[in-house]
Amino acid sequence: MSANHDRANLLEVRGLTKIFGTLTACNHIDLNIARGEIHALLGENGAGKSTLVKMLFGSLEPNSGEIFWDGEAVRITSPGVAKKLGIGMVFQHFSLFEALTAAENIALSLNDGSPISTIAAKARALSYSYGLPLDPESLVGDLSVGERQRIEIIRCLLQTPQLIILDEPTSVLTPQEADKLFETLERLRSEGKSILYISHRLEEVKRICDRATVLRHGKVVGHCNPRQETAASLARMMVGNEVKAVVRAPAEGIETAPALLEIRGLTRKPATPFAIPLKNINLSVRAGEVIGIAGVAGNGQGEFFESVSGEVLQQDAGSVRIRGKDAGALSITGRRLMGAAFVPEERLGHGAAPRMRLSENLLLSRHATDGKSFVGSGGMVKNGSVYSAAQRIIATMDVRKSAPDPEAAALSGGNLQKFIVGRELDRKPSVMVVNQPTWGVDAGAAAHIRQALIELARSGSAVLVISQDLDELFELSDAIAVMHNGELSAPLPIAEATFEKIGLLMGGAEPGHAEHTMETA
């Protein structure tokens, strides 16, 4: 090809385009990555980051555009080709096999035919040299997400790649684990390796990245040096306009307000070998306050939500109390009738039936609580009033859609999440429990949802938010409790909570012994 392809660039991408049906996920993307740099790829959910990366790693084929590796035009037709070139990838949604050991997982991606024991020894040595200790014999299903990510990183490093792609690596880590990861990345950079770092966390990007490419709606909207930008200016580039900050009005008179949701000694045995048992959880959420539950994914949050919402019933009816009455033995509908509302983690398939219309989804969750207005005599559904209620929610929550009453699956993640949260808010519940309210939701929609939750609390409801996103919890909670390995810490008032304190609790440190743990570690 022409000589203007600079060999100083390890990877050069020209006009890369990927079209899915009517959606142009990546539209003429240009990207240069130099040797020995940490290059950030910034963008909101749905901006095309993952699609771009999949094309670079060979798991998707571009419709048009060129990729130059070390100055040579290449076609990356499969992950195998990418690996041969020297591109390694650490996936966002882990691509590990739960039923296999760490060593077996690593062996699968190496294809060099050496015995598992040799690979295990190599992995162990490499993991210790990078300060990411790993036991190759352990079963992946038993490991925490942080440990699983170590396996992915070690697996990637064993292939001695020149370019390492990390897709949202810190979204599942405690702040301390993230610090450890940054050290590793800086060491890799000093060894001359290039890193493509995908994230929407701006502080991180400012901290470790040398250059950034910003994507919006599938297009490159800018290149910049993140160290010279502010978090606000980066956010503006990502979103395209100012993101409204969430306002948390001071909560007044909470101390004397009645507890509307009480969890007393909630204990649950694991239902499957990889599930987390809940151990004697105590918590009360008073009228007017938002309590956040932080924790690394897979520490029992899912089990806790199931128990509180009534997807799983408790043997001790008093272990969950809603508005002062025992609710532990009641089903979801029973608990809803007492004034509670629940938003589960998965939007599609759990929070909404994907192939049903929004109005039908509304009826599915509220036919019992709003029986009078939605269902007429003889059990006939009043389609008109369901439809107009759905339209009311759509308007209040600013849900953007392509048809008046589309199927749930036709909405983007953020808009569907706004509808699902709005569907519960519309009832003005006195207890609201939300799991991952803004997971995978763009910044504008996330701010809208968070503001609505705060306003619900300030109007006299008890709101409990389970989230892995610490920024979110600090933005909306009045107090934060941490779930670790099925145990819940006492809530820490927001004025006393810091990232470091919460991070230590997320890593399993005892509340009062935080400093001690730091010394011995």
CA distance 8 to 10: 6
Find the shortest distance in angstroms from Cβ 150 to other proteins: 17
Find the shortest distance in angstroms from Cβ 98 to other proteins: 7
Which residue, 14, 6, 81, 22, is CA-closest to 52? 14
φ/ψ of 164, rounded to 5, equals: -115, 125
Among 17, 27, 95, 184, contact with other proteins (rule: CB under 8 A): 95
Find the shortest distance in angstroms from Cβ 307 to other proteins: 20
Among 17, 59, 267, 485, contact with other proteins (rule: CB under 8 A): 59
Q: Which residues, at least 6 apart from 144, have a Cβ–Cβ distance to it below 8 Å? A: 296, 298, 299
Q: Cβ atoms within 10 A of the Cβ of 340, count?
A: 30
Q: Which two tokens stand for residue 140?
A: 């992946």
Residue appearing with tokens 């025992």: 326
Angle of helix 145-158 relative to helix 175-190, nearest 10 degrees?
A: 10
3-state secondary structure of 263: strand
Among 41, 87, 96, 237, contact with other proteins (rule: CB under 8 A): 96
Q: Which two tokens stand for residue 74?
A: 């290449």
User: Which CB sits closer to other proteins, 106 or 465?
Assistant: 106
* 52 interacts with other proteins by CB under 8 A: no
Among 8, 64, 97, 242, contact with other proteins (rule: CB under 8 A): 97
Find the shortest distance in angstroms from Cβ 55 to other proteins: 10
Pick the stretch among 58-66, 178-186, 237-245, 306-314 that binds other proteins (CB under 8 A). 58-66
Find the shortest distance in angstroms from Cβ 295 to other proteins: 24
β strands within 323-381, DSSP E? 325-326, 340-343
Pick the stretch among 36-44, 94-102, 174-182, 439-447 that binds other proteins (CB under 8 A). 94-102
Among 46, 48, 58, 169, contact with other proteins (rule: CB under 8 A): 58
Among 21, 113, 250, 384, contact with other proteins (rule: CB under 8 A): 113
* 346 interacts with other proteins by CB under 8 A: no
Site for other proteins in 265-304 (CB under 8 A): 272-274
Site for other proteins in 118-147 (CB under 8 A): 139, 141
CA distance 521 to 518: 5
* 109 interacts with other proteins by CB under 8 A: yes
User: Which CB sits closer to other proteins, 152 or 306?
Assistant: 152
Q: Which residues, at least 6 apart from 195, have a Cβ–Cβ distance to it below 8 Å? A: 37, 38, 39, 163, 164, 165, 166, 185, 188, 189
Among 34, 74, 108, 224, contact with other proteins (rule: CB under 8 A): 108
Pick the stretch among 54-62, 163-171, 256-264, 355-363 that binds other proteins (CB under 8 A). 54-62
Find the shortest distance in angstroms from Cβ 118 to other proteins: 12
Pick the stretch among 105-113, 202-210, 433-441, 450-458 that binds other proteins (CB under 8 A). 105-113
CA distance 356 to 361: 6
Among 10, 25, 107, 343, contact with other proteins (rule: CB under 8 A): 107
Q: Which residues, at least 6 apart from 84, have a Cβ–Cβ distance to it below 8 Å? A: none
Find the shortest distance in angstroms from Cβ 273 to other proteins: 4
Tell me the per-residue interface mask from 69 to 88 with other proteins, x by CB under 8 A, - otherwise. ---------xxx--x-----
Angle of helix 413-425 relative to helix 443-458, nearest 10 degrees?
A: 10
**Following DSSP, what letter does each residue of 113-177 receive, concatenated?**
---HHHHHHHHHHHHHHTT----TTSBGGGS-HHHHHHHHHHHHHHT--SEEEEESGGGGS-HHH
Residue 112, Cβ density class (10 Å: 0-12 exposed, 13-18 middle, ≥19 buried): exposed
CA distance 387 to 15: 44
Pick the stretch among 56-64, 254-262, 285-293, 324-332 that binds other proteins (CB under 8 A). 56-64
**Number of residues that this document lists for the chain:** 521
CA distance 124 to 13: 35
Find the shortest distance in angstroms from Cβ 106 to other proteins: 11
Contact call for residues 319 and 490 (beta carbons, < 8 A): no
Instruction: Return residues touching other proteins (CB under 8 A).
Output: 58-61, 78-80, 83, 91, 94-100, 104-105, 107-109, 113, 116, 139, 141, 272-274
